[in-house]
Structure 1
């Protein structure tokens, strides 16, 4: 014997090549006693050809090892049976398919071995006798004679099947028909017909994986829902928690829906199932925008899994959501606050009586709505402001520097900001400088900042705490929604974000050029990625000049004073 490479040997006078692979100790029990290696001839003495054939053969051996390991794992998982009382139609059909495939594979293996005429005749007699017996039971309605066989099969698979009488009859009837069909295929082979196992009994999961997947190990070659989601989540460094949660919701919803069709792994999801999932979301009353957003997020998760070679295909790539007509979209569009709304909201007890939220919002109850009105910034952008973000330009006055805190390259710059108030902005275009309206100064913004400095605070709203989504503004947004309804503003198209729409209208009325309007609101300008990425560096003097043209309608709010009482959320009549 001559060693050619680690797993390739030459032997005999003709130096025929063969592969020799040691069986891993962990799966030795899956092979006959005293068998420690897999040895297979490559059928050639050509060394170059032998190396090519060996790669293919070794891959096949690895696949065999995976299958043996999977069967052993399933065997171990089956030691403690799980009691079940009912099988769904899909679970029962798949169990019958598993039985049929197992019998036909064993039958095929046996037929590859030579038999004598007597053995062949005995097999024919046995198969025909069993077929006649089971056919008679089916014709006489005596399907329950098959229940012990079904119960025994499931028991070997780690399932203790204890159905009521009606369930037992239903399952036995289905199993009896499957057993008869299996015998028909065997008899057809016995008469010399070709019966391909894969054609009549396609591969199916082990019953334990179908009926109690939480008890079963993951089949080799299949990745779990958690595997795929974690691959997507870690694809981007330090992905915001809110983004993770937003994508986790539709992913879990798809997993729940897929399980109803006995689809247990993300790689088994088909385009048809994705289409049915979209229809299911529509039937549950989800808004069109929500459905489309969820489909988009699922596409993105699958795209990363395919790109990382976890999965072969993206079943959601061609999935269509839904489209509303223009009338429906206009009816749902968020509306700005009009002058009457502003007088009601900013003339209420928070802004004239110095009442405050009973929760964590504190002084944010007064300042966040006013800052949104006079800057058009997003709630989270304002909620995370530090005192150092308020900067005075010697020529153009005060402005807010809205920045990520911290960014990966600027951690040291924000070391004095508490970790509780670290947050990232929506996108690169959100980084910008927003002038402070003179009305905010008149309402006491600088006095409020001095008040915070005296108390050792480094941030504008020290009482805010991040919610489960990682949002500093989350608690206040919920409070403001309730407070606004209590003031009699009931149109659901008017929300906290309506302040941004009000600012957009004011900017357009002031004829601010689109480029600067978009920059002030933290949107892309359309001038390209580089301009948008460094948009906060657009000439501030020009931004300030455009901003100064805005004519803010007067509001009834009184200058700031520390909160004196708790706000009432009783709806006005």
Structure 2
């Protein structure tokens, strides 16, 4: 029978699903995304019948979203207070990162060793590092003046981005001229004014300042500062302290693990319930815990034990498979990190999880692309022309639409540099520049608050391979600069866990399946990084010799600030130019031989 085009089987599933685009009037708040709902049946007639009910449910959900066009006073107050603290904390971190006198002496000795005694370039680099606080003060003064003018005139355009960020996080569609939009915008603007005034006070050595604006204050319903002894209360203390200074994504994973444990023992339980007996029972439940349980409607509102029991009771064809032992270990590791902190705090005598992990055979294989697979990939529609730049199925179909954003460049830059996808995706336009007559990428967390590195040693200067120059990468960077872009790839975004270009990494794996390069396990976006390392080994370089190219070397000032002596840069150019893939021809992608750049 003929089904509507929005009732389809998704890859890897025998059951039908229905899809519906988010209505256009909700895009601003919730994004232009495609909503998928499983129909739970492989029978086309039954799928057609169920689809009508599911689509009606989606329409009701959209109506509910439209109804959320306002924010409570508490939500607005919470957002304003959060913005103030975010900016004050950022200023504090900036100051803590400034080098003191001893640090500056060490930096100067390092620069002298790199550039030579009395070198002018070394002094300019040193001057830039030394005077960072003065440059920051000048920028803050300009921002403060602009905000004061805007606030006095009721103009909140300077904080429009911050307003949209809050609205998106709260899942509320705020019409721009609405009363709540104005309240939120003015509150965020005044919060930034207060934060900038705190920074000025700190410039003069006064760290005692508090907000004087009555609008910038903690929300009335904020939780009491003194924590209790329950697991949730102590976990929030752990998050605030962040003893190992882990990244937000790692904290989010730990939070999920602790939340799952709380789902088993109860929210009001004292931390002393984290013992071997209960952890062992929890681990046993996790080994039966279904994949994507949080996204499954029938499990909504159920406890951990109830979810496992509910899944076990389903007919075999509907039963979800359990999460993998590797995932169980990840949850165990999250709870273990929290338990490690509880021990020296006096809440636990010892960490009960230390010898309770599941033995999982480590997969040391790192799939890379063959020359044939690379040829197929770079001759496929993503690189040569496709039918649409939105739907993955149409991106995999030949057409006249040229994609030239991060989805095009990330694979190519990874192929010829070995850089990580997130490192490339977060590059600023100014990070691609000429040095000693050679084009380089400065991979660093400097220059933007939303940048992050895997480690301090990941910051480095990577010469741009001549093949990338021929492919038009430098010209692309120049074009972005002429357009006034700050970010090289402004379309690349972080996911809710703070991971850069995570969506593209996931979609790229699916794209490889659609163009018949892999089926099931096989190469992924990261395979380009592994492949470049293999290419350097083929060129008879040792891993230690190219560690600094891949970001595995120790932290250096040159890596952080992006200035290399000419001789050192020449050595790195030789290394990068040694990356080669015999038999691979990308000349059809050169700007002179293709249209639509």
TM-score (norm 1): 0.51
Pair 1:347-2:384 in alignment: no
Relative distance call for 1:443 and 1:533 in structure 2 (3 A) is closer
Select the structure with the greater relative contact order (CA < 8 A; seq sep ≥ 6): 1
Q: 1:542 aligns with which of 571, 578, 594?
A: 571
Pair 1:228-2:234 in alignment: yes
3-state SS in 1 of match to 2:433: strand
Name stretches of at least 5 consecutive residues in structure 1 with no aligned partner. 1-216, 406-413, 566-573
Name the structure 2 match of 1:155.
none
In 2, the alpha carbon distance for the partners of 1:356 and 1:515 equals 43
Name the structure 1 match of 2:474.
446
Q: 1:324 aligns with which of 351, 360, 376?
A: 360
What do the CA deviations read for 1:23-72 (whole angstroms, capped 9, x no partner)?
Answer: xxxxxxxxxxxxxxxxxxxxxxxxxxxxxxxxxxxxxxxxxxxxxxxxxx
Pair 1:559-2:590 in alignment: yes
Shift of residue 391, structure 1, vs aligned partner: 2.3
Relative distance call for 1:263 and 1:404 in structure 2 (3 A) is same
Q: 1:241 aligns with which of 236, 248, 263?
A: 248
3-state SS in 2 of match to 1:425: coil
Contact 1:372 1:378 in 2 (8 A): yes
Superposed, 1:37-436 pairs within 5 Å as: 223-236=229-242, 240-259=247-266, 264-284=269-289, 285-309=322-346, 311-325=347-361, 329=363, 333-353=365-385, 357-358=389-390, 363-395=405-437, 397-405=438-446, 414=447, 422-436=450-464
Name the structure 2 match of 1:569.
none
Measured on the aligned residues, the alpha-carbon RMSD in Å equals: 3.5
What do the CA deviations read for 1:46-102 (whole angstroms, capped 9, x no partner)?
Answer: xxxxxxxxxxxxxxxxxxxxxxxxxxxxxxxxxxxxxxxxxxxxxxxxxxxxxxxxx
In 1, the alpha carbon distance for the partners of 2:391 and 2:456 equals 32
What do the CA deviations read for 1:270-295 (whole angstroms, capped 9, x no partner)?
Answer: 12222333333334433333233322
Contact 1:346 1:555 in 2 (8 A): no
Pair 1:480-2:480 in alignment: no
In 1, the alpha carbon distance for the partners of 2:349 and 2:561 equals 38
Relative distance call for 1:380 and 1:512 in structure 2 (3 A) is same
Shift of residue 445, structure 1, vs aligned partner: 0.9
Shift of residue 371, structure 1, vs aligned partner: 1.0
Shift of residue 253, structure 1, vs aligned partner: 1.6
In 2, the alpha carbon distance for the partners of 1:564 and 1:403 equals 31
Relative distance call for 1:295 and 1:385 in structure 2 (3 A) is same
Relative distance call for 1:444 and 1:221 in structure 2 (3 A) is closer
In 2, the alpha carbon distance for the partners of 1:346 and 1:431 equals 29
Shift of residue 424, structure 1, vs aligned partner: 0.8
Q: How many residues align?
A: 324
Shift of residue 254, structure 1, vs aligned partner: 1.8
Shift of residue 523, structure 1, vs aligned partner: 2.1
TM-score (norm 2): 0.49
Contact 2:432 2:477 in 1 (8 A): no
Shift of residue 524, structure 1, vs aligned partner: 4.5
Relative distance call for 1:451 and 1:222 in structure 2 (3 A) is closer
